[in-house]
């Protein structure tokens, strides 16, 4: 690991101050599961690391007067999993259960998971995010790479497993900095972007900005679920993921959102698929049709055509699970009673 | 850079927009901030001496910012239970408890563990978990065992009556190259069922 300056922030204001240093690159440390691993392999080498994991205001889940849940960025994944206030959002709990390692769940934080760097092996191997303008991916082993949004040089897939669920639930994020008084609340999908040049990243935060909270609007009786296709047991990234949320009135869908993970450099909002459900009942047939629509623009690389089929299945099963039509549904909020087999 | 060629590209510009406006004055602010933060000694560069609370004892270590907790435990405190198997923490072999939470010491900076209660596998010598591991012959080469013992302890602390399925689903953060999983599972189940989990 290249050496760096270590800075410890006790408040959000201190963090912003410590993150903005002239001529120095800074990185935010919370759990460390991703950042320290990347620094170990020298894929990233910041001049300064700012630890925000102990900032008190970022460690709680609170409800505001409009019934929004404010989830602190440094809340650990297992705290989110066992929190009863998150019970109305089964998709979030299903995703965290899928991260089936007690260490990852208790060391990893919510914002850390959302902003996890891609697992693309060319990136992790030190070849840069775009891996020679995408050529390494096209010519090499690309079995886990993108099938959507992959026409530019970026062919990796977004790493976050929580992001599709959060986007489908209409979550927002509170971002502060880089100047002390700057604060903005934006839709969570705006955190992610597709890099087109080698000096860009997949995270749309400016240097010195910090995510402090994830804001979840009230569920209002909507149905939600996530479905991941996985290798089997183990802490590896899933092969495919889908999160859905919809509202059903008199048996017909009146509102719907479908977001795919593991398919594109960003979480992928499948608008056409969501539209296709409107005004229809949820059943095997409509769920399968939404799955087809979700991959209508997909283009496989040399080794990942199977992912197109997986994406159809993941969308279909997420929809059926949300509607309670698929077995293996999430039953309870605690680890005590539910062991979900996502595979 | 503001080439609005795609929806996503303009999002980047959107988020960065607010900072670009403030760029001119930011240089002045950050210089002042740097001076101020140095005064309050929140920034540590280079080697420093810290005190860590390990297994109930206060111990002193010389660390750089990049020193991991695992390196301090093994090479300064001679607590060699946690193992350096994977530098990215994917093996689970370096699992320790910090404030009763299972974490990978390999991806924990020593400085971020200051002021917290660190428990290593050495503190579990009289615990039911290592006993059950022996009873059920749950190690072959033994290299993964300390990490598994801590992970099983942490998992059962949270899920004292865990079923086999839950144990299978929850202990995915540890890898055993010898493939002793069946016996490790039996050891964990025996504790969950046997009520030695107090």
Q: DSSP letters along A321-333, please?
A: HHTT-SSS----S
Does B65 contact A9 at a Cβ distance shorter than 8 Å? no
Residue B59 sits in a domain of what CATH number?
3.10.20.30
My answer on whether B140 and B173 are in the same domain is: yes
Residue A332 pLDDT level (bands cut at 50, 70, 90): very low
Chain B neighbors of A4, CB-CB under 8 A: 65-66
Tell me if B34 is assigned to some domain: no
| Domain layout of chain A by residue ranges | 59-216, 223-337
Tell me if B20 is assigned to some domain: no
The minimal CB distance from B65 to the residues A3, A41, A206 is found for A3
Could you tell me which of A122, A188, A126 has the C-alpha nearest to residue A156? A122
The minimal CB distance from B30 to the residues A8, A22, A36 is found for A22
Could you tell me which of A243, A211, A96 has the C-alpha nearest to residue A203? A211
Tell me if B109 is assigned to some domain: yes
Residue A290 pLDDT level (bands cut at 50, 70, 90): very high
ipTM > 0.85? yes
pLDDT for B65-102, tens place per residue?
999 999 999 999 999 999 999 988 889 999 999 999 99
Write out the E strands in chain A.
Answer: 5-8, 26-29, 48-51, 61-63, 69-72, 172-176, 183-187, 210-216, 223-229, 240-249, 252-261, 268-269
CATH of A59-216, one of 1.10.760.10, 2.60.40.420, 3.40.50.620, 3.30.465.10: 3.30.465.10
Residue A107's SS3 state is helix
Where do runs of H (alpha helix) occur along chain B? 7-21, 23-39, 69-75, 128-135, 145-158, 164-170, 181-194
Q: For residues A326 and A89, what is the distance between their CA atoms, to the nearest angstrom? A: 17
C-alpha torsion sign, points A114, A115, A119, A120: positive
The residues, any chain, with a CB within 8 Å of residue A149's CB and separated by 6 or more, are: A194, A263, A264, A265, A266, A268
Indicate the range of A29-33, B142-146, B170-174, B184-188 predicted with least confidence: B170-174
Domain span at residue B136? 124-194
Q: Is the pLDDT of residue A5 over 70?
A: yes
Q: Is the pLDDT of residue B31 over 80?
A: no
Does A107 contact B169 at a Cβ distance shorter than 8 Å? no
The minimal CB distance from B9 to the residues A2, A40, A193 is found for A193
Quote the number of domains for chain B.
2
My answer on whether B88 and B114 are in the same domain is: yes
pLDDT for A185-196, tens place per residue?
999 999 999 999
- The pLDDT of residue B68 is 97
My answer on whether B128 and B163 are in the same domain is: yes
Interface test with A, best of B4, B7, B8 (most A CBs within 10 A): B8
pLDDT for B109-142, tens place per residue?
999 999 999 999 999 999 999 999 999 999 999 9
- The pLDDT of residue A248 is 95
My answer on whether B79 and B139 are in the same domain is: no
Chain B neighbors of A9, CB-CB under 8 A: 42
Q: Is the pLDDT of residue B24 over 50?
A: no
The CATH code belonging to domain A223-337 is 3.30.390.50
Tell me if B27 is assigned to some domain: no
Tell me if B25 is assigned to some domain: no
Q: For residues B9 and A296, what is the distance between their CA atoms, to the nearest angstrom? A: 22
Q: Which of residues 276-315 of A touch B (CB under 8 A)?
A: none
Residue that finishes a domain, picked among B78, B95, B122: B122
Residue that finishes a domain, picked among B99, B122, B145: B122
* A-chain residue closest to B153, CA distance: A102
Residue that finishes a domain, picked among B65, B90, B122: B122
């Amino acid at each position: 690991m290249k050496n760096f300056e270590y800075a410890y922030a006790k408040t959000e204001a201190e963090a912003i101050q410590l993150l903005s240093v002239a001529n120095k690159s800074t990185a935010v440390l919370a759990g460390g599961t991703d950042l320290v691993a990347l620094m170990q392999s020298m894929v990233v080498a910041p001049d300064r690391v700012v630890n925000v994991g102990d900032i008190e205001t970022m460690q709680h889940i609170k409800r505001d007067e409009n019934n929004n849940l404010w989830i602190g960025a440094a809340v650990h994944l297992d705290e989110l999993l066992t929190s009863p206030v998150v019970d109305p959002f089964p998709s979030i709990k299903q995703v965290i259960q899928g991260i089936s390692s007690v260490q990852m769940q208790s060391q990893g934080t919510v914002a850390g998971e959302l902003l996890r760097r891609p697992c693309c092996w060319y990136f992790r191997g030190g070849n840069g995010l775009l891996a020679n303008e995408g050529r390494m991916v096209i010519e090499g082993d690309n079995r886990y790479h993108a099938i959507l949004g992959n026409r530019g040089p970026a062919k990796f897939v977004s790493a976050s497993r929580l992001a599709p669920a959060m986007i489908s639930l209409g979550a927002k994020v509170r971002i502060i900095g880089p100047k002390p008084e700057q604060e903005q609340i934006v839709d969570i999908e705006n955190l992610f972007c597709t890099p087109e040049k080698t000096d860009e990243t997949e995270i749309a935060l400016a240097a010195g900005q910090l995510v402090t909270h994830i804001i979840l609007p009230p569920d209002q009786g909507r149905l939600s679920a996530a479905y991941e296709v996985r290798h089997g047991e183990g802490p590896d990234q899933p092969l495919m993921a889908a999160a859905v949320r919809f509202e059903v009135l008199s048996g017909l869908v009146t509102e719907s959102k479908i977001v795919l993970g593991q398919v594109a450099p960003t979480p992928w909002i499948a608008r056409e698929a969501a539209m296709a459900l409107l005004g229809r009942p949820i059943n095997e047939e409509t769920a399968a049709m939404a799955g087809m629509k979700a991959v209508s623009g997909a283009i496989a690389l040399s080794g990942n055509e199977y992912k197109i089929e997986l994406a159809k299945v993941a969308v279909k099963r997420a929809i059926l699970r949300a509607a309670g039509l698929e077995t293996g549904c999430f039953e309870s909020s605690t680890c005590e009673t539910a062991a979900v087999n996502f595979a | 850079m503001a080439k609005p060629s795609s929806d996503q590209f303009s999002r980047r510009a959107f988020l960065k927009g607010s900072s670009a406006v403030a760029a001119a004055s930011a240089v002045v602010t950050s210089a002042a901030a740097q001076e101020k933060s140095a005064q309050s000694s929140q920034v540590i560069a280079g080697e420093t001496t810290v005190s860590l609370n390990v297994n109930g004892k206060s111990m002193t270590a010389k660390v750089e910012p990049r020193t991991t907790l695992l390196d301090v435990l093994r090479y300064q405190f001679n607590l060699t239970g946690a193992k350096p198997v994977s530098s990215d923490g994917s093996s689970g072999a370096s699992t320790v408890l910090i404030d009763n939470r299972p974490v990978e010491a390999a991806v924990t900076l020593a400085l971020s563990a200051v002021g917290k209660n660190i428990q290593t596998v050495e503190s579990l010598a009289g615990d039911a978990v290592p006993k059950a591991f022996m009873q059920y012959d749950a190690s072959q080469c033994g290299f993964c065992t300390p990490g598994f013992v801590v992970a099983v302890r942490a998992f059962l602390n949270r899920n004292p009556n865990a079923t086999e399925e839950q144990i299978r689903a929850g202990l995915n953060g540890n890898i055993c190259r010898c493939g002793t999983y069946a016996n490790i599972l039996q050891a964990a189940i025996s504790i969950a069922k046997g009520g030695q989990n107090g």
